[in-house]
Amino acid sequence: MKLEDFELGGTQLKASDFKTGKVLTTEWKPDLKYAWDNGVAIGRYLAEFKEGRIIARVCHKCDRIMLPPRMFCELCFRPTDEWMYVKDTGVINTFSIAKVNWDASRRGPKEPPLLPAVIEIDGASEGMGIMHMLGEADPKDFKIGMKVKAVWKKPEDRTGAITDILYFKPVAAGTEDKNKGRPEGRGKEVR
């Protein structure tokens, strides 16, 4: 047989063939549902959000204060040792100016861009913090290394979710936290 003999062929279609119903179609809308168990670490993390607090876990072996918290240290590969509150302030590690939405639709001309950011939280180990959003300032005013603070929902509106923080805003000049820049030492230990 020649190679062409293996080609199974088919029918070339035009856009109009779909519009006029010439092409037969089957539709199926998947109805998949999941309920992910938060577990010990993320369960406590989100419960603390409801109280307007951010909590981390400490590994005594490598001395890291891990945020988001985890019950095991992925590097030492042992259970972590204790809970520790950290601040709701930090510095911008990186950010982006998103002009499209989650579903890839373009944001309208009057809608401000979304500002996803990774914030290194004061009190957590270097390079650790929260993936969240920036707000309350012009996108062009945000810079890497800028000090920011969480803006929380009203207590009655919090549900124990990452969205209990609305966004992080720049810390106004003059009211800046004394611990700016890299966190030094640990926060307050808690049970």
**Edge-to-edge strand list for the sheet holding 129-133:** 129-133, 116-121, 89-95, 147-152, 165-170
Which chain residues interact with other proteins by CB under 8 A? 26, 28, 30-42, 70-72, 74-75, 77-78
Q: Which is nearer to other proteins, 36 or 102 (CB)?
A: 36
| Shortest distance (Å) from residue 157 CB to other proteins | 26
Q: What is the largest CA-CA distance in the chain?
A: 83
Q: Which is nearer to other proteins, 43 or 116 (CB)?
A: 43
Q: Which is nearer to other proteins, 12 or 26 (CB)?
A: 26
Answer whether 84's CB lies under 8 Å from 104's CB: no
CA 30 to chain centre: 26
| Shortest distance (Å) from residue 82 CB to other proteins | 16
| Shortest distance (Å) from residue 186 CB to other proteins | 23
| Shortest distance (Å) from residue 25 CB to other proteins | 9
d(CA 162, CA 27): 35
Candidates 50, 49, 82, 51; CA nearest to 66 is 82
Give, rounded to a whole angstrom, the gap between the first and last alpha carbons of the chain. Answer: 76
Q: Which is nearer to other proteins, 1 or 35 (CB)?
A: 35
Q: Which is nearer to other proteins, 66 or 115 (CB)?
A: 66
Backbone region of residue 10 per phi and psi (left: phi > 0; alpha: psi in -120 to 50; beta: other values): left
| Residue at 91: amino acid letter | V
| Shortest distance (Å) from residue 75 CB to other proteins | 7
d(CA 25, CA 19): 12
Q: Which is nearer to other proteins, 21 or 30 (CB)?
A: 30
| Shortest distance (Å) from residue 145 CB to other proteins | 26
